[in-house]
Chains A and B, each alone.
Chain A
Amino acid sequence: MTDLLWLIPALPLASATLLILGSQWLGPRWVATLGVGSVGAAGLCVLFTTLQWQGAPLQQTLWTWIQVGELSAGVSFYVDGLTLVMMSVITGVGFLIHLYSAEFMAGDTSYARYFAYLNLFVAAMLTLVMADNLLLLFFGWEGVGACSYLLVGFWHFDAANGAAARKAFVVTRVGDAAMALGLFLLFREFGTLDIQALSAAANARWEVGNPTAVLATALLLGGAVGKSAQLPLHTWLPDAMAGPTPVSALIHAATMVTAGVYLVARTHELFLLAPPTLTAVAVIGLFTLLLAAFTALCQHDIKRILAWSTISQIGYMFLGLGVGAWSASIFHLMTHAFFKALLFLAAGAVIHCLHHEHDIRNMGGLRSRLPVVFLSFLIGAAALSALPLTSGFFSKDLIVLAAFEAPGIGPWLWAGAVLGAFLTALYSFRLVFVVFFGRANTLPDRQPGPAMATPLSVLCVFSLAGGWLGIPVANVFPAEGEGHPALWVEAVSIGIPLLGLALAYALFLGRRWDASGLVESPLGQAFYRFWHAGWRVDGLYDRLWVKPFLVLTVLLKSEPVDRLYGAVVALCQLCYEGLSRSQSGRLRQYATVMAAGVIVLLGVVWRAAGG
């Protein structure tokens, strides 16, 4: 079975190639079969691998990619428990989303292009998680970034979508550049980019808290922060919602944005050597989850709410990584992939059935008209809010408890996480109540077909029951303390989401209190606007980076360097003019100058002769 590992990323890649080259000749039915089927086949391969798996890491080297001097990086795969979890999520959720897309995108003029990009993404993402060295990981890393760019800007005839795609690519590229530097630093220190060899060498050479280790992990963290849309590089994700909704579900909720979490988990042995970076990971996670949760509360676009909620949930994962709850974070990554994909797909169904309506204020009362979608959304929201017994509850609970037990700033982290959980329940159910209850503002003109309903149902099951799935990562991560927290801590974990739900009910459905009075007070307005604009980070970056860059381009556009050569040219012209003026054509003047010249020369000779 080991020998067939290469097949897993190769299948979607082959399909993407076929779709690109054959887009002229393939009909929509063939396109869908190829696009969906290839990911399904890859999923079956993953399933087969998992069943056959003995617990030892699988390895396969296909060919030597780059070998120069000390550097030797192969196209080679390394599959352990962590990788298997990621692969299952990518191909499993990926397959469902592909299936959903087959109906969602039906009739689009660029049907083949869409599936080509989506398959390419799956191939790149699989390469990312299966890579056994950081260079190949970086290959997948940039590959998914490019696919994200292509898919966010899929409807590029609208300039705004193009801008969103560019923003996504450039902002993550900032993180990527940092990550590349981290790779260079690690290579300089250890002369290898192989992850296992790096981990071993780092453990042998670095004591805990080594400054180089801190620097290297901080640079890697830069890459992770960019890809996973964490502070301060989170601004691209809400705009990335310009892409088709299944894309948002696959790339910007389930898989690509969690690549940062995967990276930190994969290199956890390095991070363990750098406690300051780990603390930074936790703090970044905490601030991100709070900022995003507040922002999600004040949005009106259904997809943007979900986007901010994704940022917030990945913040939880970072928090978990930062406090050393590795497997809990990966667990949350998996459950989040289920319920967030479910939410996005359900939101997509709403949008699909309401003529591309995104604003939740124009929705309402859809409970009876789109029952399947309603049920899916309700389950997704419950899991997102971590209501007891849903999958989100188990994973989030583990992270929150680990935060509580973390030494030092642990309790603060815990308090923030609990506040975040409250806000999560509040905004999730605000969404449910506003969209599916109350007065109907827009009527749906169609129902989701089987290709859309099936993925929704499957994901519903996983969102509910995913909490009982075990993930085989025990051999990957160091053992985590099995603490038994105080009862009141558990009680808070259970109670807080319910409290949020109750408040949401009171505000948005029961109308016990009217929130509008609060919102419309001057202070409320100020906060509302501040939060609605995502804490004005975008505006800040605009002033800090974009405007100065534009000013710089305007200043430099006239090529100041060329002016220098212009000066040389002007000097030559000046000399030319001076000399040509002397050539006046007046014979007598020439004679005079000649005579003067002879006299001067004679004088020189005279002096030289010692006269």
Chain B
Amino acid sequence: MIYLLLILLLGGGLAWASERWNPQAPRWVALGVVGFALLYLTVAVARLPVEQFSLLPAASQPDTWLAHTRIDWMPRFGIHFELALDGLSLTLVALTLLLGLIALSASWAEIEQRTGFFQANLLWSLTGVVGVFMALDLFLFFVFYEVMLVPMYLLIAIWGHEARSYASMKFFIFTQASGLLMLVSIVVLAYQHALQTGSFSFSYFDLLDHRLDPALAFWVMLGFFLAFTVKLPGFPFHTWLPDAHTQAPTAGSVLLAGILLKTGAYGLLRFAIPLFPEAAAEFAPVAMALGAAGIIYGAVLAFAQSDFKRLVAYSSVSHMGFILLGLYAWNSLAVQGAIVQMVAHGLSTAALFMIAGSLQQRMHTRDMGRMGGLWLNAPRMGACALFFTMASLGLPGLGNFVAEFLVLLGLFQVAPRMAVIAAVGLVTGAVYSLIMLQRSFQGPGDPERAVPDYGRRELATMLLMVALLIWLGVNPQPLLELTQPTVDSLLPGATP
């Protein structure tokens, strides 16, 4: 696993350096690096015995995980370089690398300035995210959490669109402030552990069994919750997202929507809830209310937008509401739904952002008022937009439906009222998705308009995502089985 991180980290440096001898080289280097990382992961996973995948990853037994590494870092404070991989992490790491490839494809023709540094930032950002998904030492987790932030800030601030400095600053301040809250919570947690056992520990395994005083646990939990909800982003902490997405270059949007948001969901699932089960249960109604509010609010605002990317960004807010609901419903169905939503939303929204990026590149505008009837000029692009719009509104047979259905089904078992409110989101989701399609690709058009259709590279990328979404929608069972042990081990009542 360390090698995986090293490949990406050093690859970033290499990509930067390679710009010196050829401005085209960084793209190929980055492609090679991500491809190699993906290959490495595949080979490593394929060599694991099959039984390993059905073991419950228990806190006390590192060998029940798919992979586990622990190196002393600052032993005096109980800080270790501890990485571990279970089904959930594996899924998300694979998604990260895959979307890394897709982001590379999206930036292939878009970025002409300082390609080396761009690709380096892209790879470093991936490093951070992969680290976040694997780190099981809270301090290390925090480090990776911050590491992925800075390259993303640079991506937006340097290669973004017209209002990039405002957007990147807003992004940075929101996530940084929330990260600090998390740091405070982590330190309090470790300090409490030290008070009770006499030694510091930031290890997830040690802290998982550790029980805090309920009042304190609530506040610490709130720190984690805020940090991850800002990242997710949940209502009402979402306002950085539309600005960041709108201004980011396409590859940045793809990464941001596809995986950076998922670190928030992952954090909630891995840390915020299991570390404080009682406090989280107490807090669940509030979290669920925020999730439901986010679904509706995001949908209404998405409808109100005239900017293609902003619309997709608000639709993300709406979709993330489902994740929040699913996680806090905290039963097997809903949590699995939330996990599928992470993957499916990552793919469908990334694709929509790529379409937005292609449109911007071709038409130099994101304003849907100036689009319309693009199907005439670019039918392949239109077909892709149609497909991903349908995916995003939760059409059965595609990944998002499985996710939303499972979330709502699980949610209904514990909070029927919330499920009813969230089901309204199904209708509003259709409203904004279809109006987006209408205003951009359908309607009267101008056949003379010079909007080139998709070429081979873009079409191949799109078809890859189409295939994945259909696979996820028609046969999600392999994914569900991969993550099931993790979910079982996290849920209360599971045998450790």
Report which A residues bind B (CB closer than 8 A): 20, 63-71, 75, 135, 138-143, 146, 149-150, 153, 156-159, 162-163, 165-166, 169-170, 173-174, 176-178, 180-181, 183-185, 187-188, 549, 552-554, 556-557, 559, 561-562, 564-565
Contacts and interface: CB of A to CB of B under 8 A. Distances in A.
B420 interface: yes
Nearest to B438: A162
A177 B445 contact: no
Nearest to B481: A67
A143 B408 CA distance: 19
Contacts of B426: 173, 176-177, 180
Contacts of A149: 434
A610 to B, nearest CB: 34
Interface of B: 235-236, 238-239, 242, 297, 300-301, 303-305, 331-333, 336, 373, 375-376, 383, 386, 390, 395-397, 401-402, 405-406, 408-410, 412-413, 416, 419-420, 423-424, 426-427, 430-431, 434-435, 438, 442-445, 474-477, 480, 484
B453 to A, nearest CB: 11
A150 B390 CA distance: 11
B239 A565 contact: yes
B226 to A, nearest CB: 14
B396 A184 contact: no
Contact of A66 (B304, B383, B406, B419): B406
A38 to B, nearest CB: 18
A169 B429 CA distance: 11
B375 A170 contact: no
Nearest to A146: B395
A561 B475 contact: no
Q: Is the interface of B mostly helix, strand, loop or mixed?
A: helix
Contact of A156 (B375, B416, B435, B484): B375
Closest 9 CB pairs of A and B: A184-B412, A156-B442, A69-B332, A553-B304, A139-B396, A557-B304, A562-B239, A177-B423, A142-B396
A22 to B, nearest CB: 13
B443 A157 contact: yes
A18 to B, nearest CB: 15
Given A157-B376, A177-B426, 7 more contacts: A69-B336, A139-B396, A139-B397, A150-B386, A166-B431, A184-B416, A557-B305
A180 B406 contact: no
Contacts of A153: 442
Contact of B443 (A69, A162, A176, A188): A162
B444 to A, nearest CB: 6
A169 B477 CA distance: 29
Contacts of B373: 157
B419 A142 contact: no
Contacts of B301: 553, 556-557, 559
A423 B269 CA distance: 61
Given A158-B444, A170-B431, A181 B235 contact: no
A140 B435 CA distance: 23
30 contacts: A65-B475, A65-B476, A68-B406, A75-B474, A142-B395, A142-B396, A143-B396, A146-B390, A156-B438, A156-B442, A157-B373, A157-B376, A157-B445, A159-B443, A163-B438, A166-B435, A166-B438, A170-B434, A173-B427, A173-B430, A178-B423, A180-B408, A184-B413, A187-B409, A553-B304, A556-B297, A556-B301, A557-B301, A559-B301, A561-B238
B448 to A, nearest CB: 14
